[in-house]
């Protein structure tokens, strides 16, 4: 099994190109199921979750062409299987995103229930509630959710909580429904916006994009389109935290600073000098970071997917801070591992109290989810001695060649077997 070997060594310096966003690419790849024409995508990150989605679409009969340099063309003309099997769904919860588009175009879809994962129980009752409101018959059988509807009807759906993939599934269902759908309390995450823009380029009629009230006028059919996936704000944030923790100076290219204001503001609070243009961000950290309180909430507030990375930053910061996780009930799996590296973190319910220490010490660590793994990589960059991060298949789900990108700005990091 592959691992990352890291030797803590001084500041990161240089430029990094940010990849396309995993959480935008996955729903957009699934949106290809809504038309028999070709969807041409660029800036697609080459990640394990992207190849899993491609496998899922191919298994349903779609033709997927990829040049492995971030361009992918999908043609869902020959769909002959409306089932998303357990084997694939268990490796990637986002597989649930085929439910809405498959049902909308083919009148039927069967998707393995994703179940929980390391960070929480992650139910999907809001996805189902919305589809039922649009006239679908939904049953749960043998671990699969099975939905049927000759043609979905527009409906008003008020979501009980902000759910990102729930909003995306219902958006993709509604674009081919008969009549108008209104999604209230919709997620405003930039990745939802990117999906909506791609759907409109395919001929959908969605308004209210970027707000928590999406209005979708259903159309008979969608057509092919070209779309560039937005830059990954979580990958970008991870590199900025790594630069701040090592007291370095990095410039990110192909970034989307407008989508990450809460994170940039927090970095400024730590004492970093942050500058940004339309598609670049620079961060210069000349001092020991100051501890900052963090509370995760839906967009535009601070994202849960950056919580673990900021925990590491606080672990070596000047002062004490509180980190509160309000989105997922079990997203502190990195804490015991950071403490093994010498951090001083105590948790009580959904709050962690972190007292900054002068230094961490390298150790063999492992994480059970993606961003927890990223937080351990950052810890390894600032720790004395050697750190080995085990189980990096989690990292490979969401970071494209993280060791190459960090290596290029001066980190001593390599992939070993
Ligand atoms: C592929 C993708 O885009 N993943 C992102 C997406 O996950 P995902 O879309 O799965 O997360 P949600 O926004 O749905 O989850 C938010 C909260 O709502 C709960 N919930 C959700 C749906 C539902 O029907 N019932 C319910 O109770 C969840 O358990 C969680 O506590 O948004 C999360 C929150 O920003 C991010 O951390 C993930 O990186
Ligand atoms: C939680 C994440 O992803 P997923 O929803 O795919 O598990 C993440 O990207 O941090």
Retrieve residue 147's tokens: 């939905």
Active site residue 198: no
Counting ligands in written order, which one lies closest to the CA of residue 187?
1
Nearest to 395 by CA among 374, 417, 416: 374
What's the rounded mean pLDDT across residues 305-333? 97
- Return d(Cα 232, Cα 179) in angstroms, integer: 34
Contact 315, 354 (CB under 8 A): yes
Q: pTM for the full model?
A: 0.98
For residue 38, the model assigns a pLDDT of 98
CB-neighbour burial class of residue 254 (10 A; exposed 0-12, middle 13-18, buried 19+) = middle
CA–centroid distance, 28 to ligand 1, in Å, is: 17
| Cβ count near 161 (within 10 Å) | 10
- Tell me: the pLDDT tens digits for 46-64? 999 999 999 999 999 999 9
Q: Own/partner pairs for 201-206, CB < 8 Å, 24+ apart? A: 201/225, 201/226, 201/227, 202/31, 202/34, 202/35, 202/39, 204/175, 205/175, 206/171, 206/175
- Tell me: the pLDDT tens digits for 227-286? 999 999 999 999 999 999 999 999 999 999 999 999 999 999 999 999 999 999 999 999
Q: Give DSSP secondary structure letters for 159-205.
A: -SS--HHHHHHHHHHHTTSBSEEEEET----HHHHHHHHHHHHTT-E
What's the rounded mean pLDDT across residues 193-213? 98
pLDDT tier, 1 (very low <50, low <70, confident <90, very high otherwise): confident
In this structure, the residues whose C-beta lies within 6 A of any atom of ligand 1 are 23, 26, 94, 120, 122-127, 161, 163-166, 191, 304-305, 327-328
CA–centroid distance, 350 to ligand 1, in Å, is: 17
For residue 306, the model assigns a pLDDT of 98
Query: Which of the residues 113, 117, 132, 408 is marked catalytic?
Result: 117
Counting ligands in written order, which one lies closest to the CA of residue 168?
1
Q: What are 108's strand-pairing partners?
A: 148
- Return d(Cα 90, Cα 116) in angstroms, integer: 9
- Return d(Cα 238, Cα 308) in angstroms, integer: 10
- Return d(Cα 181, Cα 175) in angstroms, integer: 8
Least confident of 5-14, 79-88, 115-124, 333-342: 115-124
ipTM above 0.90, yes or no: yes
pLDDT tier, 9 (very low <50, low <70, confident <90, very high otherwise): confident
For residue 322, the model assigns a pLDDT of 98
For residue 204, the model assigns a pLDDT of 98
- The two beta strands, 386-390 and 3-7, are antiparallel
| Cβ count near 301 (within 10 Å) | 12
Which residue's alpha carbon is at the smallest distance from atom 21 of ligand 1?
163
- Tell me: the pLDDT tens digits for 102-152? 999 999 999 999 877 889 989 999 999 999 999 999 999 999 999 999 999
- Return d(Cα 170, Cα 214) in angstroms, integer: 10
Q: Which of 19, 20, 22, 23 to mutate to test the pocket of ligand 2 (most atoms within 8 A of CB)?
A: 23
CA–centroid distance, 160 to ligand 1, in Å, is: 12
SS3 68: coil
For residue 243, the model assigns a pLDDT of 98
- Return d(Cα 379, Cα 244) in angstroms, integer: 12
The verdict on whether omega for the bond into residue 88 sits within 30 degrees of 0, i.e. cis, is no
SS3 278: coil
- Return d(Cα 57, Cα 340) in angstroms, integer: 41
Contact 112, 95 (CB under 8 A): yes
Which domains can be identified in the chain, with CATH numbers? Answer: 3-19+232-416 (3.65.10.10), 22-228 (3.65.10.10)
Is 337 a residue whose pLDDT tops 80?
A: yes
Nearest to 367 by CA among 335, 405, 341, 345: 335
- Tell me: the pLDDT tens digits for 347-394? 999 999 999 999 999 999 998 899 999 999 999 999 999 999 999 999
For residue 315, the model assigns a pLDDT of 98
Catalogue the E-assigned strands of 76-164: 83-84, 108-112, 137-141, 144-148, 156-158
HSE at residue 401, side-chain half, CA atoms within 13 A, is 12
């Amino acid at each position: 099994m592959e691992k990352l070997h890291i030797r803590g060594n001084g500041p990161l310096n240089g430029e990094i190109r940010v990849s396309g966003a995993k959480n935008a690419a996955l729903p957009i790849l699934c949106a290809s199921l809504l038309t028999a024409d070709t969807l041409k995508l660029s800036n697609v990150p080459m990640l394990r979750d992207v190849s899993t989605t491609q496998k899922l679409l191919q298994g349903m009969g779609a033709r997927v062409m990829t040049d492995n340099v971030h361009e992918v063309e999908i043609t869902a003309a020959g769909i002959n299987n409306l089932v998303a099997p357990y084997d694939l769904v268990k490796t990637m919860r986002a597989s649930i995103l085929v439910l809405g588009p498959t049902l909308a175009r083919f009148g039927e879809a069967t998707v393995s229930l994703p179940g929980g994962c390391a960070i929480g129980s992650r139910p999907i009752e809001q996805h189902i509630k919305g589809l039922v409101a649009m006239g679908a018959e939904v049953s749960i059988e043998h671990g699969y959710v099975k939905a049927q509807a000759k043609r979905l009807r527009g409906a008003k759906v008020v979501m009980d909580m902000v759910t990102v993939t729930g909003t995306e599934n219902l958006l993709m269902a509604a674009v081919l429904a008969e009549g108008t759908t209104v999604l209230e309390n919709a997620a405003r995450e930039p990745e939802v916006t990117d999906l909506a823009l791609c759907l409109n380029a395919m001929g959908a009629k969605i308004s209210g994009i970027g707000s928590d009230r999406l209005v979708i006028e259903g159309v008979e059919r969608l057509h092919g389109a070209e779309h560039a996936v937005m830059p990954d704000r979580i990958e970008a944030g991870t590199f900025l935290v790594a630069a701040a923790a090592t007291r370095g100076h990095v410039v990110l290219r192909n970034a989307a600073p407008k989508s990450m204001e809460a994170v940039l503001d927090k970095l400024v609070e730590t004492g970093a000098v942050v500058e940004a243009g339309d598609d670049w961000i620079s961060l210069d950290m000349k001092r020991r970071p100051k501890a900052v309180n963090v509370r995760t909430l839906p967009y535009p507030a601070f994202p849960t997917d950056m919580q673990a990375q900021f925990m590491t930053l606080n672990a070596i910061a000047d002062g004490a801070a509180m980190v509160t996780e309000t989105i997922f009930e079990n997203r502190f799996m990195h804490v015991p591992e950071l403490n093994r590296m010498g951090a001083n973190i105590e948790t009580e319910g959904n709050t962690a109290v972190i007292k900054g220490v002068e230094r961490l010490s390298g150790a063999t660590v492992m994480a059970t989810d993606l961003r927890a793994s990223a937080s351990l990589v950052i810890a390894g960059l600032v720790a004395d001695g050697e750190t080995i991060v085990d189980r990096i298949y989690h990292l490979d789900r969401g970071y494209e060649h993280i060791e190459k990108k960090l290596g290029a700005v001066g980190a001593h990091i390599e992939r070993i077997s």
